[in-house]
């Protein structure tokens, strides 16, 4: 774990790489309210893969919150590029979970020359705001501002929004309550008001321009991350691979195993393309 300074913020990040190696860099970003522990706890990089992730603005140990107006998906993508520049990584496989998937999608469209591959895990956005989710997160933010995190959590647990989510997906309901449990919940509450109303793309048709190899992961029984969003993105992105994974509410262990297996298989194709003795390896590419 280490940090870098950018835009007057101290960004906390994780880098599993070894200096001087030819590992394939894979940036895997966390979801709304998460931190580097989410992607690093979900995926254990096999030999040859350099896992990197950072705490986005208003998340984890990245401080201070800074300008609330910069709590936007495109700015998070700019922050990712800044970290790549700092680490002198010209291009990488770019991925993320939920909000992280939105950041990765925005990055791939705006910086295609730096996107070796793309991973969209449990996407929560298409084009435009999260709509229903934005309303729920706004309610969480309002309760946090009015009552503080602890009392706000108690009040939210009594709402129909929470009860409905709990019936559909206990894991998604726990994730919503978890927004109140964050040690910086009150300090960073603006992220719940601003990010869900943002969008990674203005038009869904824009994703058809993505040329990088793409993996899309989605699961059912998850109202925050609709299965259909994954299907739509996989259809729109040429050549994208789509994989259904086990819902966490059904089995967290199987969910983690599915993600690990899918990522390992996808990233293996980039290992096959790594230079050998200074020359490109034109062996098996995984296609």
pLDDT in tens, 41-58: 999 999 999 999 999 999
pLDDT in tens, 168-188: 999 999 999 999 999 999 999
**Domain end (from 197, 230, 246):** 197
pLDDT in tens, 100-149: 999 999 999 999 999 999 999 999 999 988 888 999 999 999 999 999 99
Query: How distant is the alpha carbon of residue 3 from its chain centre?
Result: 19
Q: In the structure encoding, which two tokens stand for residue 204, read together?
A: 């869904």
Report if residue 284 sits inside a domain: no
Same domain, 15 and 157: no
Q: What is the CATH number of the domain that holds 10?
A: 3.40.50.1820
Query: How many domains is the chain built from?
Result: 2
Same domain, 21 and 143: no
Report if residue 98 sits inside a domain: yes
Report if residue 246 sits inside a domain: yes
> Cα(220)–Cα(121) distance, rounded to whole angstroms?
13
Same domain, 184 and 208: no
Same domain, 152 and 122: no
Same domain, 112 and 26: yes
What b/e sequence results for 111-143 when a residue is b if at least 16 CB atoms lie within 10 Å of its CB, and e otherwise?
A: beebbbbbbbbbbbbbeeebeebbebbebbbbb
Same domain, 110 and 145: no
Same domain, 223 and 253: yes
Domain that holds residue 265: 2-127+199-271
Alpha helices in the chain (DSSP H): 37-42, 73-86, 99-110, 132-156, 160-168, 170-181, 190-194, 227-236, 252-271
Residue 205 DSSP symbol: G
Q: Is the pLDDT of residue 284 over 50?
A: no
Report if residue 282 sits inside a domain: no
Report if residue 276 sits inside a domain: no
pTM: predicted TM-score of the whole model, two decimal places: 0.93
> Cα(73)–Cα(183) distance, rounded to whole angstroms?
23
Q: Of the candidates 270, 258, 265, which has an alpha carbon nearest to the alpha carbon of residue 212?
A: 270
Helix 170-181 to helix 132-156 angle, to the nearest 10 degrees?
A: 70
**Domain end (from 162, 179, 197):** 197
């Amino acid at each position: 774990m280490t940090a870098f300074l950018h835009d007057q913020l101290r960004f906390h990040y994780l880098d599993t790489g070894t200096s001087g190696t030819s590992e394939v860099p894979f940036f895997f970003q966390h979801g709304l309210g998460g931190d580097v522990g989410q992607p690093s706890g979900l995926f254990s990089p096999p030999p040859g893969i350099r896992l990197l992730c950072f705490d986005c603005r208003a998340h984890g140990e990245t401080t201070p919150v800074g300008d609330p107006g910069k709590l936007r998906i495109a700015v998070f993508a700019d922050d990712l590029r800044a970290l790549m520049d700092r680490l002198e990584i010209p291009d990488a496989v770019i991925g993320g979970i939920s909000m992280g998937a939105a950041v990765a999608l925005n990055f791939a469209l705006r910086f295609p020359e730096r996107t070796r591959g793309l991973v969209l895990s449990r996407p929560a956005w298409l084009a435009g705001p999260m709509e229903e989710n934005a309303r729920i997160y706004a309610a969480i933010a309002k309760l946090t501002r009015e009552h503080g995190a602890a009392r706000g959590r108690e009040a939210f647990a009594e709402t129909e929004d929470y009860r409905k989510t709990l019936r559909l997906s206990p894991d998604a309901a726990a994730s919503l309550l978890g927004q109140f449990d964050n040690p910086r919940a009150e300090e960073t509450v603006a992220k719940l008001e601003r990010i869900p109303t943002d969008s990674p793309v203005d038009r869904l048709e824009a994703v058809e321009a993505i040329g990088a190899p793409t993996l899309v992961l989605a699961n059912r029984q998850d109202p925050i991350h609709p299965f259909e969003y994954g299907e739509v993105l996989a259809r729109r992105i040429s050549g994208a691979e789509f994989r259904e994974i086990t819902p966490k509410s059904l089995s967290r262990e199987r969910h983690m195993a599915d993600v690990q297996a899918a990522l390992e298989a996808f990233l293996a194709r980039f290992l096959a393309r790594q230079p050998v003795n200074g020359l490109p390896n034109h062996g098996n590419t995984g296609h």
